[in-house]
Structure 1
Amino acid sequence: MYNTYMIRYGEIGLKGKNRPAFERRLMGNISRALGMGFARVQRVYGRILVESDADPARIIGKLSKVFGIVGISPALRLPLTEQAICDGALAVLKDAAARVQMAVGEPLTFKVEARRSNKQFPRTSPEINGLVGAYLLDNFPGLQVDVHTPRIKVRVEIREQNAFVYADDIPGVGGLPVGASGKALLLLSGGIDSPVAGWMAMKRGIEIEAVHFHSFPFTGEKSLEKVRDLCRILTGYTAQITLHVVHFTDIQKEIQRSCPEELRVTIMRRMMFRLAARIAEDAGALALVTGESVGQVASQTLESMRVINQVIDIPVLRPLVGMDKHEIISRAKVIGTYETSVLPYEDCCTLFLPKHPATRPRPDQVLEAEKALDVEDLLAGALERTVAENIKQ
């Protein structure tokens, strides 16, 4: 029945002179999400319109994962005539009424909300409300008006070329279009936290690439495939993700052999950050993204974060910093990564874990411990064996 999907966005509308650039980015992301050639994407003032003959459930499912969209409404695109608008409103009302759950004897209530951006149309918004409302009351038995809490809102938008009528408002994920805020590199472990952090970074318009530290043979192919699967899930919200797989075994073995047990986690994280910063530079990424939350584990105390951060000069974004584990798990379930994250395959962060890792490491202690390592040689060896994979939807 519906021939158009009306897309609403939120904070993009507040971007002033930069607004057209954000709108174009959003339109491009919509086209990629739906598949080039399968939809026509058009910009009108304050809205983006999508036309497609594909299955509506598929279209809505794809659009609901595009960052920047706050609402999706299947709509009828109609000629700018009063009769066409009234007939379209009746069709939309009947479709919405068929899906409303009501108790026996409960009246079906409605309200018409008109918006006239085309000032050449001969009727004002209040006049359209009255005209369409009267027509619906005359042609739909048992209908009642409720301007405060109606069961159905029939919305009419009068544009330059057409009128649009719709009732449903399906929520989107909001945020900013991916790519509008630059690129960052996500440290993706395979656990619960880091995929959520990547999702939240993308919600702020950040395009992400991912880096995973693989400790073969201590972590096997199933562990790596789990990380690939997490990337695939995240690509439901973006076009693709480049995954950099770093051979980390030699570094971990050398840390275990040469460094004090209580500082192994701290030194391991410092090596990860060094590697990630160099990969980010080559990839054109402007920041790192991690799944750290203050106080969650030994390496996530403020003292540990300070010491770990000292080895790089690139910003580190921690979207989960104020969330507790319950909140992170809840978000992981919503975005679809939780079931994959809890699969029982170890990652490198759980290997060689000391019984009592330092929670308040001092910079001088760590620098002294690292003297036992040939840091540059270890980094060069790991980078030489790093492989980049392109993960698509």
Structure 2
Amino acid sequence: MRTFFLIKPGEIELKLGNRREFVHRLKEQIQKRLHGIHFDLEEYPGRFFLSVEEKDTDFALFVLQHCPGVNGIAQAIKSEKRTERILKAAIEIASKEAARGARRFKVETRRSDKSFPLDSYGMSAAAGDAVTQALSSLSVDVHNPDFIIAIEIRERAYIYASTSPGPRGLPVGSQGKGVLLLSGGIDSPVAGYMMARRGLAIESVYFHTYPFTSEEAQKKVEQLARRIAIWTGSMHAWIVSFTEVQLKIKKGGREEANTLMLRMAMMKAADVIASRIKARAIVTGESLGQVASQTAENLRLSQSMTSLPVLRPLIGIDKEETIATARRIGTYTISILPYEDCCVLFSPKHPVLKPDFEDLRAYFSSLELESEILKAVDKAEEKFFSFGDALREYGLDAYAEFWNAGGPRA
């Protein structure tokens, strides 16, 4: 037995001249994430069709629900374009919904193949009649149905009821690559997730200041990177030892500017890494006014360390909204583990809120941090977390094993 999924791409269908590129990228992403199982994937205008072994149904659905570019997923029945076959499938689907307690339904038909003898209204009416005759517990209610039977008449007929939502957005990699400043907090993992949904491939950089921050703090960030990899498909993480940079900043003597100097140094390091990996942007979890270093003036100062666009998807989002998203994507419980990052440990009591731009730029230059920053980047430890590592993070160990081995499940 096999399970058949109808996949709705969503936003990429609005693209015009380069639509094929987006479609190819999404197909590639789905194939990459499923390569540990036996599957068949077909693409037709406006739809993908996926067939998997029945035992892999839940896994395939999980993968599709975490693949940016997928708008919706439905388990469907694939049928010949014959009215009696379509009606039989509609009754089968309605029977399952009735067994779950549903009592009211409606039918919606999309007829792309205009040669089919019944038009959309006629097919919907015929299916409604067939279902009510076969199942006396069900009645048609077009205004307040418990479920909808969807019929699509294309190169074949597809019949389904419930549609599970996907992440929506654009396929990962369709908008190039970005460097995410990943801390152990709540915000930056959410920012990475949000930019992945906008098609950005993500590599992350974490600034570690051992012994002022513990090894547990680094492990926490690595776990967050694996969590984000379920959305991005994989994750390169750059672990940059920033202890010497931070100590040099602290010796500079202007305590109120410590956080700003550190943010500028981090942005400079991220800019160097971005140049080396050919990334087009830097991503941060900053939100306007959330903390002292995130005033408009301070954001301008840190951004002056790079010529790349700095993408801040949380810039206008309330903290509670960010927390709600973190809970939904599974990063919140990790982010609140009590291991502080370097920003917290070296924060001044009275930070600068409205800096003199030229004065603090000159102060940053006087610290002569560039050689220490380059040395730290050169010695950075690169870690790679595969999609299989992400699956293991979500408890799908059996699939992770076969994914990482590169072979299909038996």
TM-score with structure 2 length normalisation? 0.91
Distance 1:87 1:382 in 2: 66
Q: Check 1:78–1:363 CA distance in 2 against 1; reply closer, same or farther (3 A cut).
A: same
Return the alpha-carbon distance in structure 1 between the equivalents of residues 348 and 138 of structure 2: 70
Distance in 1 (CA, whole Å) between partners of 2:244 and 2:29 is 40
Letter of the 1:63 partner, please give it.
Answer: L
- Note if contact 1:33-1:238 (Cα within 8 Å) is conserved in structure 2: no
Q: Counterpart in 2 of 1:66?
A: 67
- Give the Cα separation in 1 of the matches to 2:363 and 2:17: 52
Aligned counterpart, 2:157: 163
- Does 2:290 correspond to 1:296? yes
2:98 and 2:138 in contact (8 A); partners too = no
Counterpart-to-counterpart distance in 2, 1:100 and 1:72: 22
CA contact (8 A) 2:178 2:279 kept: yes
Inter-partner Cα distance in structure 2 for 1:339 and 1:15: 37
Distance 1:260 1:11, change over 3 A: same
Alignment of 1:322 with 2:316, yes or no, is yes
Tell me the CA shift for residue 87 of structure 1.
Answer: 1.1
CA distance in 2, matches of 1:36, 1:44: 24
Opposite residue 55 of structure 1, the aligned amino acid is D
How far is the alpha carbon of 1:36 from its aligned partner? 5.0
Residue 199 of structure 2: SS of its match in structure 1? Answer: coil
1:69-102 Cα offsets, whole Å, 9 max, x none, are: 111110011122222111111111111222236x
SS in 1 for 2:76: strand
Q: Is the 8 A contact 1:214 1:347 kept in 2?
A: yes
Matches within 5 A, 1:129-148: 129-148=124-143
**Structure 1 residue runs of 4 or more that deviate by more than 4 Å after TM superposition:** none
Structure 1 position 218 matched with structure 2 position 212? yes
Larger mean Cα displacement after TM superposition, 173-182 or 55-64: 55-64
Local SS of the residue matching 1:330: helix
* Contact 2:256 2:350 survives alignment (8 Å): yes
Tell me, which stretches of 5 or more residues in structure 1 are unaligned? 102-107
| Residues 110 and 153 in structure 1, CA contact (< 8 A), matched pair in contact too | yes
Identity of paired residues, percent?
40
Instruction: Identify which of 148, 154, 165 aligns with 2:149.
Output: 154
Q: Per-residue deviation at 1:2? A: 6.7
User: Retained in 1: the 8 A contact 2:174–2:200?
Assistant: yes
Q: SS state of the match for residue 240, structure 2?
A: strand
5 Å-filtered alignment, 1:2-17, equals 3-17=3-17
In the alignment of these two chains, the number of paired residues is 386
Say which SS state the counterpart of residue 17 (structure 2) adopts.
helix
User: Per-residue displacement from partner, 1:236-281 (whole Å, max 9, x unpaired)?
Assistant: 1121010011110000011111241011111111110110001001
Could you tell me how far 1:119 is from its partner in structure 2? 2.1
Report the secondary structure of 1:154's partner residue.
strand
Q: 1:371 and 1:200, CA in 2 relative to 1: closer, same or farther beyond 3 A?
A: closer
Q: 1:247 aligns with which of 241, 251, 259?
A: 241
Q: 1:186 aligns with which of 169, 180, 186?
A: 180
Contact preservation (8 Å) 1:307, 1:362:
no
